[in-house]
Amino acid sequence: MNANKPKSLAVYPGTFDPTTNGHISLIERALHLFDEVIVAVASSGAKGPLFDADERLDLMKTSIAEITGGERVKVLKFDGLLATLVDDLKAQAIIRGLRAISDFEYEFQMALMNRRLVKDVETVFLMPALSWVYLSSTIVKDVARHGGDIAGLVPIHVELAIKKKIAGSKKE
């Protein structure tokens, strides 16, 4: 890297409930484009998260520790407007994942709003590896809740945490 060139920084926001191999794939792809990636775990979960924000933060941190280039990734929890976080961090880009054409309309609207709020920040759309295009956190949770096998869809520590959380909720 040129010593005179400032480091490029991207923020990858999400609920990450739970972290999937698709999320990890996007982080690895982003590391090919940016010097540093900050994974921003949203504290509020409008979707009714399985894991609370601190649990999701810990699951992501452990997942990052296991990937090549993970030392260039930081994980933090945030609340509020993504545009404010990105501006505060002086990031150049927001990373968003696209799995299917159905994701595009919502993501496009969000990108335009973020551009309005932080004019100098670009939204970069990345697709996960082809093997993860169908995968979402919602699907993983649904399969796990119904006793399906989620091995290989999430990092092993996430799989174990999901099984423990679901088993605990069935006892209540």
Query: Mind telling me the catalytic residues?
Result: 23, 47, 99, 137
Residue 80 token pair: 């509020």
Question: Length of the chain in residues, anyone?
Answer: 172
The answer to whether 150 touches 169, Cβ cutoff 8 Å, is: no
Element (H, E) at 83: helix 82-89
Bridge-based pairing of strands 36-42 and 9-14 is: parallel
Question: What distance in Å separates the CA atoms of residue 172 and residue 54, rounded to the nearest whole number?
Answer: 22
